[in-house]
Amino acid sequence: MAELTWPEVEGALEDGIDTVILPLGATEQHGPHLPLETDTRIATAIAKRVAHRLGDALVSPAVPVGPSEEHTGFPGTVSISPDTLTSLLRDHVSSFEAQGFERVVILPGHGGCFPVIDAAYPELTRTTEIDVVAVTGLQRFMNLLQEGLAAAGIDVDEPVVHAGASETAMLLAIEPSLVVDDLPEGHTGTVSAAALFTRGVEVYDKNGVLGDARPATAAAGETILEHVAEAHTSYIRDEFRELDIR
């Protein structure tokens, strides 16, 4: 959608493309080997694959920032408050509704966005006349990444996903030139949410990596992206069917 002209978007609407997918990313550290825009790239790549499967959807430019307070100890990270993200979601939905879209899909690729969506979703659905579907559930998302790794033949347990094998593999599939060749092993043990959010990621790994990036391959990344996109598409279709029934 970002590469289209406004007449092209208007034409798409006239041709019956009534759904817009809004990816949610982040600008935050992802270790010494991945770019700050990692989550934004991943969310956009998954959104494009979902749009292709749905067949009647455009992909909006991503929201490239989110709540990332636990990463602010690393230069380059930009963190916004949950209230700011909620306002951004509200304004995006309002804009899409005014333009004539009938359905909005909110698709996060950044862990910090999931709890905000969970809290904001009831308001978003009450304050608009169009259908809003949010792909929620952080644990579900992490499970899908783990399943994708397993399907690719990579036996790595990622209890917390951040700059480890799954994200590194997806970036290798999306844009390998953005991935530094020397892949690190970060913290691979358990993570306390209390310690993470009060003291920051660096309390576990000075490079900011939670997991082991070394097994990542582009082929594995492609498998993960396809697995997540297929699961998200099925979830979205089920939600749309429920909305149509009601």
Q: What span, in angstroms and rounded, lies between the C-alpha atoms of 177 and 39?
A: 16
- Structural domains of the chain ordered from first start: 6-245 (3.40.50.10310)
What residues contact residue 152 under an 8 Å CB cut-off, 6+ apart?
169, 217, 219, 220, 223, 224
The amino acid present at 161, given as its one-letter code, is: V
* pLDDT tens per residue, range 61-78: 999 999 999 999 999 999
Q: Which residue has the tokens 């997918």?
A: 21
CA 80 to chain centre: 16
Grade residue 245 by pLDDT with cuts at 50, 70 and 90: low
Q: What is the pTM of this model?
A: 0.96
The stretch 212-217 carries a mean pLDDT of: 96
Beta bridge partners of 21: 59, 105
Residue 6, helix vs strand vs coil: helix
Q: What is the pLDDT of residue 153?
A: 96
Its sign, for the CA torsion 49, 51, 52, 58, is: negative
User: In 110-199, which residue ranges form alpha helices assigned H by DSSP?
Assistant: 114-126, 138-151, 165-174, 193-199
Higher pLDDT, 246 or 242: 242
Task: Please report, rounded to a whole number, the percentage of residues in the chain having pLDDT higher than 70.
Answer: 99
pLDDT in tens, 148-203: 999 999 998 877 789 999 999 999 999 999 999 999 999 998 888 889 988 999 99
Closest alpha carbon to 131 in 92, 105, 100: 105
